[in-house]
Amino acid sequence: MPIALTRAVSPEIAHCELTHLQREPIDYERAVQQHTTYENALEKIGYTVKQISDTPELPDGVFVEDTAVVFPELAIITRPGARSRRPETETMAMALRQYRELHFIEAPATLDGGDVLILGKEVTIGLSQRTNKEAIRQFSEIVKPFGYRVTGVPVTKCLHLKTAVGFVDEGLLLINPDWISPDIFPGYRCEAIHPEEPFGTNLMRRNNWALCSTVHPHTTEWLAKKGYDVITIDQSELAKAEAGLTCCSVLVG
């Protein structure tokens, strides 16, 4: 059974890094409850959830996606763009070592996992405030022997590439065209997100299941009409920290 690696919410979550959002109070207890609901949803759609070591001193520690990128053949431990987040990779490396051969992004490169979209053998990486060109060069060298091709694209209007585009199914992406151009993904049908839900692209899919935020009813309806079994969860507290659904897990399939 595929595994979802997660980490507990830090009591310091209110001091998280922010780039595009204004800081709002975060209810820690509610965030913990919402994260538990998220983990339960991951189990429902077929993942075995394993929590890695807590990092209570690291405000953004729950957002494990940014610390690693997993392929069937290997895993890449990132070097997050925010300096305060770099210690998060140590415990992720310890957890992933039992499942994959590890490779590491090294200075001066910076890379957040949320900027990496894997579509078969094509890998698109967002050039954002958190991810730079040197990271794309290193990443490409690591995965090239396994037949992957890496392309870098500019991301300026949102935090990460996967804030602007989400994988739905073979040949189908959900995209915010105000933040990223559909021309970047030739060969894919790119459907535009409802204009009232700019963050609705960040969803999760497995088999016939779709995981979506409760604040995106238009996206939920769109997925249901396509025949998916949709689970909606409230992630409102972690959303204040610029988090989407994919941010809180590293999937090892």
CA-CA distances (angstroms) from residue 154 to 49, 107, 172, 179?
33, 20, 21, 10
The DSSP output letter for 148 is -
Strand 149-154 and strand 122-127: pairing?
parallel
CA distances from 229 to 9, 84, 137, 205, 220 (A): 28, 38, 39, 10, 10
Instruction: Name the token pair of 244.
Output: 């989407």
Question: Distance between CA 8 and CA 36 in Å, rounded?
Answer: 9
Q: 17 Cβ partners below 8 Å, 6+ apart?
A: 59, 60, 82, 84, 85, 241, 242
Q: Which residues of the chain have pLDDT under 50?
A: none
How many domains, the chain?
1
What is d(CA 109, CA 111) in angstroms, rounded to the nearest whole number? Answer: 7
- What's the CA gap between 161 and 124, in Å, rounded? 9
pLDDT at position 1: 84
- Identify the DSSP state of 129: S
Here the tokens at position 23 are 């800081």
User: Could you tell me the sign of the dihedral formed by the alpha carbons of 120, 116, 174, 13, in that order?
Assistant: positive
pLDDT at residue 68 in the model: 98
- Residue 207 near residue 46 (C-beta atoms within 8 A): yes
Q: Residue 167's domain is classified under what CATH number?
A: 3.75.10.10
Residue-wise burial string across 73-102, b where 16 or more C-beta atoms lie within 10 A, e elsewhere = ebbbbbbbbbeebbebbebbbebbeeebee
153: containing domain: 3-252
Residues labelled as active-site residues: 160, 247
pLDDT tens readout for residues 225-237: 999 999 999 999 9
Surface-to-core class of residue 72, CB atoms within 10 Å of its CB (0-12 exposed, 13-18 middle, 19+ buried): exposed
- Which phi-psi region, left, alpha or beta, contains residue 67 (left: φ > 0; alpha: ψ -120 to 50)? alpha
Summarize pLDDT for 5-33 with one digit per residue, the tens.
Answer: 999 999 999 999 999 899 999 999 999 99
Give the pLDDT confidence score for residue 253 in this predicted structure: 87
